[in-house]
Amino acid sequence: MQNIEDEIKPWTGERQSIGRELFNKLEKHIEGVSLRCYKSFDPSISVLSDEVVAREKVKFKHLCEGSFNESYFSAQAPVIRSIAEKTGFTNFIVKAASIYAAEWTLAVLDETKWSPRKRETYLRSIMESIFTDIAVAVEVLLQDINGQAASEREAFERQRAADAEADSRTMQVLGRALNELASGNLAVRLTDMLPEKNDAARQDFNRATGALDGVMTTIVQTVGDLSNVVEEVSSASEDLSRRTEQQAHALEETASALHQLTTAVRKTSDGAVTASRVATQAREEVGRTGEIMAEAESAMSQIASSSQEIARIVSVIDEIAFQTNLLALNAGVEAARAGDSGKGFAVVASEVRALAQRSAEAAKDIRNLIGTSSNQVKHGVSLVETTSQTLAGIVLKVAEIDDVIATIANSARDQAGGIQDITHSVTEMDRTTQQNAAMVEETTAASAVMRSKSRHLSELLGDFTLTEQPRNAGNRLEAGRRSAA
């Protein structure tokens, strides 16, 4: 691209002459126009310094005469940069440049009232000068902008290259770390410092892996504990299932035994009722026997009384025999005294004495028999009394036995009812136990599935390397893998 110093050439000839003439006409307006332009971007300015006025005069002389030489460009560039720095590029063009052109246009109009022809010539000349100055200003500002853009672009390129290198190094480090992480090494950390712009990624990676490491450590520990719990639950479920089956079998046998016991107790209860009825009948029979024994005892007493009466009668007979014997003896004595006349009477007396003697002997034998009979009757009476007392005791015992048997019958009946209730309860327990056994079998199956899943999870977690292996977790995982194998 061609330089503006090469494109803008200094004026010569008539153009330069018109410019000198114009400068001479407008020189008196330089301070006023310059003050109004400066106030457009700095309202606090009220007076311009002599240096500024002198500089503006030199600049305006160059513009009017078209002296666009090296001196102009070198003097104009700092002024343009100073104004543009204060106002900005847009305000410089829109405000400063427009005000500058408008003020000098008004000044030309003021100085050329007398000649419209001159007015046109001066306006053309001043507009060309002003727009040339604007073009130079724009060029200077564009050069600054381009230079700054180039500088920024170079800095950007340098920064981008540095960032690319840093990103490449960061990606290499992160790539290696991510490969380690993908292989299950959760203990990997980025210890070397990365470039400042990427160090946050290192810190984020370390925080993420640290958090993941902590979570996985907790998971490993929890899985280890869960494996132990599942093993214990599974073992307990198997034991419970076995014991439940045994209990169900035992309950079934118990229910059968209770049913048999209920039947036996019912039979016992029926037998006890029958025994109670028989005992009642026996008590009644024994009671009637007691009455008979009382009657026998009374009869024996009467026999004893009769024996005593007979003994008394025999004693009378014995006395009669004794008296008869005495009479016969006396009769014999008297017959002997009578001699032959008394022989017949003596024979009768002898016969009577013999008869009396035999009566006495018979009375004696009867007395002996009656004594023996009386003793036997007394013994019989004693036996009857003893039997009566014994029968009375038997009656009491039979009554007690009847009461006991009645109590046994009632108890057996109550026991039969209670055992029947127990049998019903045991039957319900048996049905419930059977249901529990089925549920325990399901629980055992679920525990087996949980144990298999837990072992599989333990195997999966065993592929991870952690910063600090939880206590006993490695052993638990290894044990889980061995058990699974």
For the stretch 84-88, contacts whose Cβ atoms lie closer than 8 Å and that sit 24 or more positions apart, written own/partner, are 84/137, 84/141, 84/144, 86/41, 86/42, 87/41
pLDDT band at 426 (very low <50, low <70, confident <90, very high): low
Q: Which residues on adjacent β-strands are paired with residue 185?
A: 465
Tell me the pLDDT tens digit for each residue of 388-421: 777 677 667 767 767 876 786 777 677 777 767 7
Query: In whole numbers, what is the pLDDT of the chain averaged over residues?
Result: 77
Tell me the pLDDT tens digit for each residue of 326-353: 887 787 787 778 777 777 777 777 887 7
Kindly tell me if the per-residue pLDDT of 265 is higher than 70: no
Q: Which residue has the tokens 């030489």?
A: 69
What does the pLDDT read at residue 484? 45
Q: 213: closest CA among 191, 190, 184, 193?
A: 184
For the stretch 377-385, contacts whose Cβ atoms lie closer than 8 Å and that sit 24 or more positions apart, written own/partner, are 377/300, 377/303, 377/304, 377/307, 378/304, 380/300, 381/297, 381/300, 381/301, 381/304, 384/293, 384/296, 384/297, 384/300, 385/297
What does the pLDDT read at residue 183? 83
pLDDT band at 482 (very low <50, low <70, confident <90, very high): low
Q: 454: closest CA among 217, 232, 241, 183?
A: 232
Tell me the pLDDT tens digit for each residue of 186-212: 788 888 777 777 778 888 888 888 888
Kindly tell me if the per-residue pLDDT of 26 is higher than 80: yes
Residues 336/342, Cβ–Cβ less than 8 Å: yes
Kindly tell me if the per-residue pLDDT of 152 is higher than 60: yes
Residues 179/205, Cβ–Cβ less than 8 Å: no
Q: How far is CA 107 from CA 33, 97, 113, in A?
A: 9, 15, 10
Q: How far is CA 158 from CA 106, 164, 165, 196, in A?
A: 52, 10, 10, 16
Kindly tell me if the per-residue pLDDT of 33 is higher than 70: yes
Quote the percentage of the chain above a pLDDT of 70: 87
Q: How far is CA 12 from CA 122, 127, 435, in A?
A: 16, 17, 123
What does the pLDDT read at residue 485? 46
Region of 228 (left: φ > 0; alpha: ψ -120 to 50; beta: rest) is alpha
* Number of other residues whose CB lies within 10 A of the CB of residue 476: 21
What does the pLDDT read at residue 138? 77
- Longest CA pairwise span in the chain (Å): 259
Kindly tell me if the per-residue pLDDT of 147 is higher than 60: yes
Burial class, 417, CB count within 10 angstroms (exposed 0-12 / middle 13-18 / buried 19+): middle
Rg of the chain (C-alpha set): 79
How many residues are there in the chain? Answer: 485
3-state helix, strand, coil in the chain (%, to 5): 90, 0, 10
Quick one: average pLDDT of 257-275?
74
Kindly tell me if the per-residue pLDDT of 269 is higher than 80: no
* Number of other residues whose CB lies within 10 A of the CB of residue 74: 9
Q: Which two tokens stand for residue 428?
A: 């319900």
d(CA 421, CA 262): 10
**Can you tell me whether residue 465 is helix, strand or coil?**
strand
d(CA 168, CA 156): 17
Tell me the pLDDT tens digit for each residue of 227-251: 787 778 778 777 877 787 787 777 7
Q: 63: closest CA among 99, 96, 102, 104?
A: 104
Residues 236/404, Cβ–Cβ less than 8 Å: no
Report pTM: 0.37
Tell me the pLDDT tens digit for each residue of 84-137: 676 776 777 777 778 878 888 888 888 887 788 888 888 888 888 888 777 777
DSSP states of 13-78: HHHHHHHHHHHHHHGGGHHHHHHHHHHHH-TT--S--HHHHHHHHHHHHHHHHT--SHHHHHHHHH
Q: 45: closest CA among 35, 60, 31, 57?
A: 35
